[in-house]
């Protein structure tokens, strides 16, 4: 007989039927015996796993090039041998630009010391300007005098005549030099822009000429020894010599299964060093010629910005003219001061003499003397008649 049914009290939830656990289908092993040796297609992985591994995968491609791809590359190389020489073309361009800039720097360094010579030239120019100012001041004084001293004899020394002749020669030379400078460089902003374009065109032309196929390939900067990529036959021979395993090679000299090259343990592939256009832009470093500042050989840059429409000779001439006018103004002011002081001194002397010979003053003195004499006589008469 069966016993009585057991009863339970309380909150008892009904248990749901359990779903069967789905087991992952085991994928094919990379070293499994069931793998097809002639199958060159890579293993298909889930999308999320493939994306995660692609980020950590080194940039090494083990896929072999097809015959059509090799034929296409061969045809491109026959048309232009430098079709894949990205780094060499870039290095040649930079080398040409650097050579032009080095030539300019060498030209600036070969210049002779100029500061002492410029100081001496400036002192000589100021001396000449002072002589010109004195000459103009004397000429203006003669114009103001007019014919006042026309009947007087004039005495001119030979040194003064030589000085005047030298000043005339200097003025003629300056005029010729200014005309030649104006004809050579021109005037205005057009000439400035033309010179700037000519200077930059030389650098650009050198860079373009360096990219031609006939130009010799010039390496820029220190060169690292380039490792020649080994062929499949060389790799197979090397592995056979090291491990003793037989590596299968097809009729075209390619390794049939590259997994035969692997050994036990971690097969770490040496990353390839990249250079040139293969390097990311953020990781590239500019050459010294690009990082260097502007060439300091451009003289009178401030003057050119202040007066862009004038040449260097014209600015120098205007500066000398301003200096000459300033010296002339100072000399005229000094001469006027001397004349004024002389007139004041003469006026003071005249006033002193006029005070001494004044009639009113003489009359007053005579009157005072007469009064004193009368007073003395009165005192003497009083004493005589007590």
Nearest to 222 by CA among 165, 267, 287: 287
- Asked if the structure places residue 42 within a domain, the reply is no
CB 145 within 8 A of CB 137: no
Say if residue 141 is in the same domain as residue 199.
yes
Highest mean pLDDT (candidates 78-82, 246-250, 261-265, 334-338): 334-338
Q: What's the rounded mean pLDDT across residues 139-154?
A: 81
Residues 6+ apart with CB under 8 A from 131: 163, 167
Listed residues 221, 242, 272: the one ending a domain: 221
Domain count, the chain: 3
Q: Using DSSP, state whether 29 is helix, strand or coil.
A: coil
Listed range (68-77, 129-138, 200-209) with the worst mean pLDDT: 200-209
Say if residue 217 is in the same domain as residue 88.
yes
Identify the pLDDT of residue 269.
56
- Asked if the structure places residue 312 within a domain, the reply is no
**Band (370; pLDDT cuts 50, 70, 90):** very high
Say if residue 239 is in the same domain as residue 139.
no
pLDDT in tens, 27-43: 555 555 444 444 444 55
Residue 261 has pLDDT above 60, yes or no: yes
Q: Using DSSP, state whether 255 is helix, strand or coil.
A: strand
Residue 226 has pLDDT above 80, yes or no: no
Say if residue 79 is in the same domain as residue 122.
yes
Phi, psi angle pair for 249, to nearest 5°? -125, 135
CB 320 within 8 A of CB 171: no
Residues 6+ apart with CB under 8 A from 278: none
Query: How many Å apart are CA 357 and CA 361, to the nearest integer?
Result: 8
Say if residue 207 is in the same domain as residue 84.
yes
Say if residue 196 is in the same domain as residue 217.
yes
- Asked if the structure places residue 86 within a domain, the reply is yes
Query: How many Å apart are CA 248 and CA 76, to the nearest integer?
Result: 31
Residues 6+ apart with CB under 8 A from 91: 217, 218, 219, 220, 221, 276
- Asked if the structure places residue 79 within a domain, the reply is yes
- Asked if the structure places residue 204 within a domain, the reply is yes
Identify the pLDDT of residue 12.
55
What's the token pair of residue 352?
């002193």
Say if residue 101 is in the same domain as residue 129.
yes
Long-range contacts of the stretch 271-275 (C-beta < 8 A, 24+):
271/58, 271/59, 271/60, 272/59, 272/60, 273/224, 275/87
Q: Using DSSP, state whether 249 is helix, strand or coil.
A: strand
What number of other Cβ atoms are within 10 A of residue 211's Cβ?
A: 14
Listed range (2-6, 98-102, 182-186, 345-349) with the worst mean pLDDT: 2-6
Residues 6+ apart with CB under 8 A from 228: none
Q: Is the dihedral of CA 151, 155, 160, 162 positive or negative?
A: positive
Identify the pLDDT of residue 182.
75
Nearest to 288 by CA among 94, 88, 89, 86: 94
Listed range (17-31, 137-151, 171-185) with the worst mean pLDDT: 17-31
pTM for the full predicted model: 0.27
Say if residue 252 is in the same domain as residue 362.
no
Identify the pLDDT of residue 235.
82
What's the token pair of residue 368?
């005072």
Query: How many Å apart are CA 186 and CA 168, to the nearest integer?
Result: 26
DSSP structure class, residue 292 = S
- Domain membership of residue 250 as a residue range: 229-261
What's the token pair of residue 89?
């073309």
- Asked if the structure places residue 365 within a domain, the reply is yes
Say if residue 243 is in the same domain as residue 123.
no
Say if residue 133 is in the same domain as residue 196.
yes
- Asked if the structure places residue 197 within a domain, the reply is yes
Say if residue 85 is in the same domain as residue 140.
yes
Residue 237 has pLDDT above 70, yes or no: yes
- Asked if the structure places residue 80 within a domain, the reply is yes
Say if residue 195 is in the same domain as residue 252.
no
């Amino acid at each position: 007989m069966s016993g009585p049914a057991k009863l339970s009290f309380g909150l008892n939830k009904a248990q749901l039927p359990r779903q069967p656990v789905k087991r992952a289908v085991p994928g094919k092993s990379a070293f499994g015996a069931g793998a097809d040796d002639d199958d060159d297609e890579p293993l298909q992985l889930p999308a999320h796993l493939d994306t995660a591994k692609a980020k950590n995968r080194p940039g090494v491609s083990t896929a072999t090039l097809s015959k059509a791809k090799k034929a296409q590359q061969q045809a491109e190389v026959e048309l232009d041998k430098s079709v894949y020489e990205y780094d060499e073309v870039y290095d040649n361009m930079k080398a040409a630009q650097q050579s032009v800039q080095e030539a300019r720097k060498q030209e600036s360094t070969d210049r002779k010391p100029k500061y002492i010579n410029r100081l001496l030239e400036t002192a000589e120019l100021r001396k000449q300007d002072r002589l010109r100012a004195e000459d103009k001041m004397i000429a203006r004084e003669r114009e103001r005098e007019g014919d006042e001293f026309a009947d007087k004899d004039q005495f001119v020394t030979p040194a003064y005549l030589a000085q005047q002749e030298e000043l005339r020669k200097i003025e003629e030379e300056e005029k010729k030099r200014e005309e030649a400078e104006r004809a050579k460089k021109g005037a205005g902003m057009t000439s400035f822009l033309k010179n700037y374009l000519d200077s930059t065109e030389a650098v650009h032309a050198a860079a373009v000429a360096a990219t031609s196929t006939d130009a010799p390939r010039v390496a820029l900067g220190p060169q690292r020894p380039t490792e020649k990529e080994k062929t499949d036959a060389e790799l197979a021979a090397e592995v056979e010599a090291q491990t003793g395993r037989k590596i299968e090679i097809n009729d075209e000299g390619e390794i049939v299964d590259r997994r035969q090259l692997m050994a036990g343990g971690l097969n770490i592939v040496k990353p390839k060093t990249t250079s040139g256009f293969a390097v990311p832009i953020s990781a590239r470093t500019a050459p010294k010629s690009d990082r260097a500042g502007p060439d300091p050989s451009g003289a009178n840059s401030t003057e050119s910005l202040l007066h862009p429409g004038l040449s260097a000779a014209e600015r120098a001439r205007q500066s000398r003219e301003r200096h000459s006018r300033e010296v002339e103004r100072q000399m005229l002011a000094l001469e006027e001061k001397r004349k004024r002081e002389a007139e004041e001194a003469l006026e003071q002397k005249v006033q002193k003499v006029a005070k001494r010979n004044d009639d009113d003053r003489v009359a007053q003195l005579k009157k005072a003397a007469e009064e004193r004499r009368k007073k003395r006589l009165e005192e003497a008469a009083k004493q005589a008649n007590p």
